[in-house]
A and B are shown apart, each in its own frame.
Chain A
């Protein structure tokens, strides 16, 4: 049982770490603000969740488990909220997302947006 928990915990930790790296790569490589933010917020929330779940499997006492669980709840609440606030602020200040144009190449949508 404990061996299974250990392997599962390490699998979660490694996967979470890989997600962090992929999120960072996306943050650097994606074409516009919204996709970059998507990479940062989605992968970060998932990666933090996985890392915390991995740590929870190794928690020595119930107190530690409880604290990690509360951190997990906090991250799950704040991460998506921060992403939402960023995207909304960007949209409000008039930043248009890149959309595929007629030729299939990404370009800024110049039509006036229909209000937010």
Chain B
């Protein structure tokens, strides 16, 4: 029965992927990509990977759909049909390349251990250590959070820096003089009274849920990445319904940019403090006299840093995109 559900969801994934390639309407493609994210999230839940499913649902189905839609409002809804067939357009070469790469990848999987076999490295290498000892070493119930924030804290630090870099990249590419934008702006959906009222009711709940996800990440699925995305989506919802100018009054540009750096700084500082106390970089055992208390403190601070950076970068990207599209709208 369970494998039947797996087969159904995986076939739906493949169908959605093919539909994404075939459909020309970019709006429909965006929605299909959101469905793809939701289907992958369901599949991750079936595989008992709840933290990954949570992230995929928040990022893949949620905020990336939103950001792509904002981009679409700048670029237009349909793919441009090429005016004349280009001479250097050779789909056959690309097809051969993709086929060969795919065949090599499938050939490579032959060397991998079968799914769920007992002697696979995933069952024998570090995972038993994590599962058996993390409760005494780290002291928090959610092993995923211990691995992500403590055992693999350095990797997660890299991920946060990647997100921060993405924010900087967006700012560097399209922030051209957004600071002196005209103040006269109509909200995107100013006449939607029902939407405004319902979202006013929901925004505090969304923020509260984000905080719950943030600080409950040590006990259940959740953590800084998911919480940051959810927190940012509350601001994005506000900006969509009440206009960018109103949203800028709540969070101004400079503050968000500072916060996005502050999160990374907080994460790195925790590592440096551990070094000053005589440990390795990001070795939370040295943050406190009691190693377990140090671990819990370290994970809390590190997750907070992740949450702050992710939320600020998402807000920066959305605000920059929207400001740009509204400016171009005025130029038309």
Partner-B contacts on A (CB < 8 A): 74, 77-78, 81, 84-85, 88
Distance from B125 Cβ to chain A, minimum over Cβ atoms (Å) = 35
Give the residues in chain B near A85, CB-CB below 8 Å. Answer: 192, 194-195
CB-based contact B194/A81 at 8 Å: yes
Chain B residue contacts of A84, Cβ below 8 A: 194-195
The reply to whether the CB of B120 lies closer than 8 angstroms to some CB of chain A is no
* Contact A81 B195, beta carbon cutoff 8 Å: yes
Q: Are A81 and B198 touching (Cβ within 8 A)?
A: yes
Looking at the assembled complex, report how far the CB atom of A62 sits from the nearest CB atom of chain B, in whole angstroms: 17
Give chain B nearest CB distance to A69 CB in angstroms: 13
Tell me whether B198 and A77 are in contact (CB under 8 A): yes
Collect the chain B residues with CB atoms within 8 Å of residue A81's CB: 194-195, 198
Q: Could you tell me if A74 and B198 are in contact, using CB atoms closer than 8 angstroms?
A: no
Secondary structure of the A side of the interface? helix
In the complex, how many angstroms separate the beta carbon of A78 from the nearest chain B beta carbon? 7
> Which residue on chain A has the smallest CB distance to residue B189?
A85
Shortest beta-carbon distance from A61 to chain B in Å: 14
B195 to A78, Cβ gap below 8 A?
Answer: no
Asked whether any CB of chain A lies closer than 8 Å to the CB of B201, the reply is yes
**Chain B minimum-CB-distance residue to A92:** B191
Can you give 6 contacting A-B residue pairs, CB < 8 Å?
A74-B205, A77-B201, A81-B198, A84-B194, A84-B195, A85-B192
9 nearest A-B pairs in the assembled complex, by CB-CB distance: A81-B198, A84-B194, A85-B195, A77-B198, A81-B194, A81-B195, A77-B202, A77-B201, A85-B192
Residues of chain A lying within 8 A (CB to CB) of residue B192 = 85, 88
**Set of chain B residues within 8 Å of A77, measured between Cβ atoms:** 198, 201-202
Question: CA A88 – CA B201 in complex, angstroms?
Answer: 20
- Nearest A residue to B206, CB-CB: A74
Contacts of B198 in A (CB 8 A): 77-78, 81
Which residue from chain A places its CB closest to the CB of B205 in the assembled complex? Answer: A74
Q: A78-B198, A84-B194 are in contact. List 10 more A-B contacts (CB 8 A).
A: A74-B202, A77-B198, A77-B201, A77-B202, A78-B202, A81-B195, A81-B198, A84-B195, A85-B195, A88-B192
Query: What 1/0 mask marks residues of chain B from 186 to 208 whose CB sits below 8 Å from any chain A CB?
Result: 00000010110010011001000
Q: Smallest CB-CB separation from B201: which chain A residue?
A: A77
Using a CB-CB cutoff of 8 Å, which residues 192-239 of chain B contact chain A? 192, 194-195, 198, 201-202, 205
A65 vs B48: C-alpha distance when bound (angstroms): 22
* A88-B198 Cα distance, complex, nearest whole Å: 15
Determine the chain A residues whose CB is within 8 A of the CB of B194 once the complex forms. 81, 84-85
Which residue from chain A places its CB closest to the CB of B194 in the assembled complex?
A: A84
CB neighbours (8 Å) of B195 from chain A are: 81, 84-85
Question: CA separation between A74 and B201, bound complex, in Å?
Answer: 10
Least CB distance, A53 to chain B, in whole angstroms? 20
Assembled-state Cα–Cα distance A78/B198 (Å): 8
CB A26 to nearest CB in B, in angstroms, measures 19
The residue among B198, B201, B202, B205 with the most chain A CB atoms within 10 A of its own CB is B198
Cα(A77)–Cα(B194), bound, Å: 11
With A and B bound together, what is the CA distance between A78 and B233 in angstroms? Answer: 15
Tell me, in angstroms, the Cα distance from A88 to B193 when the chains sit together: 11
Separation of A51 and B192 alpha carbons in the complex (Å):
30
In the complex, what residues of A have CB within 8 A of residue B205's CB?
74
Chain A min CB distance to B309 (Å):
27
Give the Cβ gap from B217 to chain A, nearest Cβ, in Å.
Answer: 16
Tell me the bound Cα distance from A61 to B184 in angstroms: 52
Cα A63 to Cα B201 in complex, Å, equals 23
Q: Which chain A residues lie closer than 8 Å to B202 at the CB level? A: 74, 77-78
How far does the Cβ of B328 sit from chain A's closest Cβ, in whole Å?
Answer: 21
What separation, in Å, do the CA atoms of A88 and B192 have in the docked complex?
9
Nearest B residue (CB) for A116: B191
CB distance from A111 to the nearest CB of B (A): 23
Contacts of B201 in A (CB 8 A): 77
